[in-house]
Amino acid sequence: MTPPAPGVSFAGLWGEVAPLGRDPRTGGYRRFAWTPEDAALREWFASAAADRGLDVVTDRAGNQWAWWGDPDADGPGIVAGSHLDSVPDGGAFDGPLGVVSAFAAVDALRERGFVPARPIAVAHFGDEEGARFGVACAGSRLITGALDADRGRALRDADGVPMGEAMARAGHDPGHLGRDEETLRRIGTFVELHVEQGRGLVDLDRPVAVGSAIWPHGRWRFDLPGRADHAGTTRLADRDDPMLAFAAIVLAARTAAARHEAVATCGKVLVEPNGVNAIPSRVTGWLDARGADDERVHAVVAELAALVDEHGGTVAEESWTGPTDFDPALVRRLAALLGDAPVLPTGAGHDAGILAAAGVPTAMLFVRNPTGISHSPEEHAEEADCVAGVDALAAVLEDLAR
């Protein structure tokens, strides 16, 4: 087999994966775990691996691994990869760019005749966005044990289908879920390439960065009770309208985040009864808050909690993930290798963060995103930057597997 040049290889692979799960109406993607779209992406992965003579292994959680070399015989390998699923109406690059770039990097190494001293693999983690069952990074959390097998099987989608049943329907046996020592033992180092989801590289005028850390992040739900009443006949002074409290909290979240140099978002709200002429009886809002350190995030949340309390509401922490630093020596090594590449933290969670928290030496590469927009059909990366990403990833694999 003669592998194509990196640019040709990348473009070919990208062209194969781009139509899968794309909504022609919006141009966005709907690639959810254990659906027919997910099955098509898994078939594509297996086929790309087979085209390259790589051995495909599916782990206990359903993540796919395409091995060049034998990690069981020759020791833990260098793994590059990402995910293929999407948020609702997501972009083309978040996830697939890392998997496609890993295959293209393998092609590049082979074209230049590189013979690895350690096994190399391309990995595809399932259900990273958690769009269907509500838990992000489900594939990597299951194999590290960060998500308990029973809890994972019992997670339900919007139609009430448990994840275990969805897996079984898609042909994957949910009976083997649980921490996967065999799979973890094979990973010597993990490198996840990902489209940048902000404008750090745009501002620095550079195509590729090395990730340093994942910001601490969490989700909080705030329940604001009110009193259902008639919108036409209830005097303003007699009202207990929780929509007013919600509005004040949304604006306060933004102000607090700016003051503490964090980010805060109220992207979801449920109103009861949500009628035009009804003062709501209850408004439930959610806060997503992240920042460079725990203190900033907790300062934002504390301000919001005080405001919710003032309005007679309650706050519940739905999730919290402390800061995750990638392997500092590895980060320095990759930055030096890539011509003193910028080193940037990110506010987004990734499978790389789950593996790093589980003790796997882990790093990330980010590829420039000209608008910074992500989780949207407008998400983009220029082809030249994608090829620069493939070159960087190939250099990293060569350096680590030499």
Work out how close the CB of 155 gets to its own copies at its nearest, in angstroms, rounded to a whole number.
15
Work out how close the CB of 346 gets to its own copies at its nearest, in angstroms, rounded to a whole number.
6
Window contacting its own copies (CB under 8 A); options: 41-49, 57-65, 270-278, 384-392: 270-278
Q: Name which of 175 and 275 has its Cβ closer to its own copies.
A: 275
How many residues are there in the chain? 402
Window contacting its own copies (CB under 8 A); options: 72-80, 170-178, 284-292, 394-402: 284-292
Task: List the interface residues with its own copies, window 22-81 (CB under 8 A).
Answer: none
Work out how close the CB of 392 gets to its own copies at its nearest, in angstroms, rounded to a whole number.
20
Work out how close the CB of 133 gets to its own copies at its nearest, in angstroms, rounded to a whole number.
14
Work out how close the CB of 143 gets to its own copies at its nearest, in angstroms, rounded to a whole number.
23
Window contacting its own copies (CB under 8 A); options: 49-57, 103-111, 153-161, 280-288: 280-288
CA distance 360 to 189: 6
Distances (CA, A) of 313 to 91, 134, 223, 310, 361: 36, 24, 5, 7, 43
Work out how close the CB of 203 gets to its own copies at its nearest, in angstroms, rounded to a whole number.
10
For 249-286, letters b (16+ CB in 10 Å) and e give bbebbeebbeebebbbebeeeebeeeeeeebbbbbbbb
Say whether residue 320 binds its own copies (CB under 8 A): no
Say whether residue 317 binds its own copies (CB under 8 A): no
CA distance 201 to 195: 11
Of residues 194, 101, 120, 65, the one with CA closest to residue 399: 120
Window contacting its own copies (CB under 8 A); options: 15-23, 104-112, 148-156, 268-276: 268-276
Using the rule CB under 8 A, which residue among 20, 40, 46, 247 binds its own copies?
Answer: 247
Say whether residue 241 binds its own copies (CB under 8 A): yes
Using the rule CB under 8 A, which residue among 82, 201, 374, 393 binds its own copies?
Answer: 374
Task: List the interface residues with its own copies, window 198-237 (CB under 8 A).
Answer: 198-199, 215, 217, 219, 227-236
Other beta carbons less than 10 A from residue 320's beta carbon:
15
Distances (CA, A) of 308 to 47, 142, 305: 52, 35, 5
Work out how close the CB of 355 gets to its own copies at its nearest, in angstroms, rounded to a whole number.
18
Say whether residue 197 binds its own copies (CB under 8 A): yes
Other beta carbons less than 10 A from residue 35's beta carbon:
18
Q: Residue 121, SS3?
A: strand
Work out how close the CB of 11 gets to its own copies at its nearest, in angstroms, rounded to a whole number.
26
Asked whether the beta carbons of 34 and 174 are under 8 A apart, the reply is no
Structure letter (DSSP) for residue 276: T
Say whether residue 238 binds its own copies (CB under 8 A): yes
Of residues 317, 136, 289, 321, the one with CA closest to residue 223: 317
Using the rule CB under 8 A, which residue among 69, 71, 164, 349 binds its own copies?
Answer: 349
Asked whether the beta carbons of 370 and 384 are under 8 A apart, the reply is no
Beta bridge partners of 285: 222, 269
Say whether residue 85 binds its own copies (CB under 8 A): no
Window contacting its own copies (CB under 8 A); options: 47-55, 75-83, 271-279, 386-394: 271-279
CA distance 108 to 3: 7
Say whether residue 251 binds its own copies (CB under 8 A): yes
> How is residue 394 written in tokens?
């190939």
Say whether residue 133 binds its own copies (CB under 8 A): no
Q: Residue 388, SS3?
A: helix
Binding site for its own copies (CB under 8 A): 87-89, 131, 136, 196-199, 215, 217, 219, 227-236, 238, 241, 243-244, 246-248, 250-251, 254, 257-258, 263, 265-269, 271, 273-281, 286, 288, 290, 318, 346-349, 372-378
